[in-house]
Structures are given as structure tokens and as C-alpha cells.
Amino acid sequence: MISLKDVERVYKTSNATVHALKGITLNVKQGEIFGIIGRSGAGKSTLIRCINLLERPTRGSVIVDHCNLTTINKEALRHARRNIGMIFQHFNLLNSRTVYQNVALPLELMGLSKKEISSTVHPLLELTGLTEKANEYPYHLSGGQKQRVAIARALVNKPKILLCDEATSSLDPKTTHSILQLLRDINEKLNLTIVLITHEMEVIKSICTEVAVLHQGEIVEQGSVLALFADPKSDIAKEFVKAATRLEMPIALRRRMRPQPTSTTHPVLRISFMGQSAQEPFIAYVIQHYELTVNIIQAHLETIRDEAIGIMIVEVMGSADNIQNAIAFLESKGLHIEVLGHAPRST
């Protein structure tokens, strides 16, 4: 559905050249909810605006629904953009128009009749839970209601794709949850492909199936949300997962940790497991079978997209050979093991 190939975006000023995007390649499947996460300044907004060519790439191609947007003329691009809706952080509503009129505006600009507009707008107001607000003005609405208006307006052309540019970052947690649930419902009911950018891992794990991690204009990691949580590879992804799971090693232990093992240390492990492995007593098994002592420092268990996933930080004490054999056993069962460091043994 969406394919970006080696996309770069360079800004030149009188004083500097800024590479906002560097060789971005990603693919989004039809009907997928794809998340792009990164810190402020990572290039997220530039990237999502390249998908509908509000930002034209300096180099590379953007292919949407089998059409290379970077090679077509302006008239063809305007037509192609009708298949791509977009919502923003700040709603961009007209305060002088009612909810109904805000949603109807794109259709009015296209010259549709009042009957045609009505037959499109009213079902969208119902879909987004705004029927009773049709004649209200934006200044009477909450932030969540304003975003619902923006979503309904983005859907009036019956797009195949919806782009969400930090669509929940100005909303409180409860309202964010309701908007994300609405986006999930729209995705399921309309088979709409959704691409959203955010700096919050809570948003990613709540709604997305696939995710790309953007850092300093580059994609440093991408894959399923479950795989990212279970086994983040990049430092920035590890930071996002740590913030989302609230798992952090106690300061006292972190200060004692050493990067390399010695005869007087034992390893501290990050163990992650998902799916069926989350239901199996593997830790109990290795304690008994390999004669280990395991001290659980932190643990987190939750369900993401109907899949159980757990993360533990543990100290493991026993013979070096038994510890290595236990790690090999756990990895053979699909658990992800990361050695965080080595702690001195208590005497």
C-alpha cells in the first residue's frame, strides 16, 4: 500500500545544510496500523508529510497504492491525495463553522450538492460519535471532540489511508485512549490503512501492529510491536520500552554493576517472553534443573494486541556453566535474554 524507498529530505539555509531524513525505506501493508516513534526533532513529521508529498523528498521514491507520487504531475498528485486523509495535533478547525460544516468543507470545495454532502457527512458524524454535536461550534467542544471532528473531516473523501501527525499528544490519557479506540474501530470497519507518528510508546502498544523507530533522521529499528517490546535492539528503542514498562534497575544495583564477569560476580539478565512462553514455568524449571538461585528485581506482564508479553530483570546465581546452560535452554524456548551486566556477589 505504501512504500518509501531510500527517501531523503535535505533543508538548506544560508548557514547550514540539515539532513532531516536519511535513506528512509519502509513498507506499510493494506489495512495495517503502522506506527513511527521518535523523540522531538527525529524527523517524524517530515517523514509522514513525505507520504502525501506535503514535503517533497530531496531524493528517493514514495509509492502509494501502486502510484509513484514523486514522478506524477500536480493534477495527478491532487487526485492521488484524495485517497490520503490526514489529521494533526492541533485539529485545524474553522471556529466560524459548525461541526457539520467543518466536516462538509472539503466536499463543498469539490462542488458537491447539499444532498450528496449530507449523505456523506451524517454517517461520518455517527461513526465518530458526533451526531449530537453537529450544530455546535468548535469553541464549545473538548479537545477529544475536536479531534473527532478532524477525523471525520479527513474521511469525507473516503480515503484508503489516514495519516496521523501526533494526533493525541495534546490530549489527556483518558481522551487519548478514546481517540485510539476510535482509530482502531475505523481501521477495522473501513479497512483503512493508518500511519501514525508519536513520541509515546503507550500509543504504539495500544494500537499499532508494526513500528519503525526513527532517530536523527534514520530508521534504526523496525518490525512488529511485540518483537520490539520483547527484544529491542537499538539504544533508543530500549529507552522507549523501559519508559513504557516502567522497568528500571535500582540505582544501588546499577552502581555496583560491572561490564565484564569475574570470579566474584553473577550476571544480571533482562528476560522477555511473549505468547505461549509467557504461560510456561520456565524460570521455575531452570531454578530446579540447573540448581540456580534467581532474584527477581523487577517484573512487568501485560497484554499487547491480545498477546501476553512479560519482561523481567533478574540476578542469577550459580555455577558459570549452569548459568550458561540455563540461558541456552531459555533461548531455545523462544525467550529473549540480554545480559545487562554483572553484580558482585554478597559475602
Query: SS3 of 137, please?
Result: coil
d(C-alpha 153, C-alpha 158), whole Å = 10
pTM, rounded to two decimals: 0.85
What pLDDT does residue 299 have? 87
Residues 6+ apart with CB under 8 A from 279: 308
Cβ atoms of residues 205 and 181 within 8 Å: no
126 contacts 134 by C-beta, under 8 angstroms = no
Among 186, 197, 190, smallest CA distance to 219 is for: 197
Radius of gyration, alpha carbons of the chain: 24
φ/ψ of residue 59, rounded to 5: -150, 155
C-alpha cell at 334: 523462544
How does residue 170 score in pLDDT terms, banded at 50, 70 and 90? confident
Domain boundaries, the chain: 2-242, 255-344
- Which pLDDT score, from 0 to 100, does residue 214 have? 96
pLDDT confidence of residue 273: 85
Higher pLDDT, 197 or 275: 197
What confidence score (pLDDT) does residue 178 get?
94
End-to-end Cα spacing for the chain: 60
347, pLDDT greater than 70: no
For 22-39, give the DSSP string: EEEEEEE-TT-EEEEE--
* Paired residues of 272 in beta bridges: 311, 336
Nearest in space to 151 (alpha carbons), one of 196, 116, 114, 119: 196
What local confidence, expressed as pLDDT, does residue 219 receive? Answer: 96
| CATH ID of 255-344, from 3.30.1360.200, 3.30.70.260, 3.30.300.30, 3.30.420.40 | 3.30.70.260
Return d(Cα 262, Cα 194) in angstroms, integer: 50
- Could you tell me if 134 and 127 are in contact, meaning their C-beta atoms sit under 8 angstroms apart? no
Q: Which residues contact 108 (CB under 8 A, 6 or more apart)?
A: 117
**Beta carbons of 212 and 219 less than 8 angstroms apart:** yes
Tell whether the model's pLDDT for residue 346 goes beyond 70.
no
Q: What is the DSSP letter of 124?
A: H
- Predicted confidence (pLDDT) per residue in 43-96, tens digit: 999 999 999 999 999 999 999 999 999 999 999 999 899 899 999 888 889 999
List, for residues 127-162, the tens digit of each pLDDT value. 999 999 999 999 999 999 999 999 999 999 999 999
Q: Taking the alpha carbons of 225, 228, 234, 239 in that order, is the dihedral positive or negative?
A: positive
Question: How many C-beta neighbours within 10 Å does residue 296 have?
Answer: 11
Indicate the SS3 state at residue 120.
Answer: helix
Domain 2-242 coded CATH 3.40.50.300:
yes
pLDDT digits (tens, 9 = 90+) for 302-333: 877 777 888 889 999 999 999 999 999 999 98
pLDDT tens profile 212-267: 999 999 999 999 998 888 888 899 998 998 888 877 777 888 888 888 888 889 99
Same topology, domains 2-242 and 255-344? Answer is: no
- Share the mean pLDDT of the chain: 91
Going by pLDDT thresholds of 50, 70 and 90, the confidence category of residue 281 is: confident
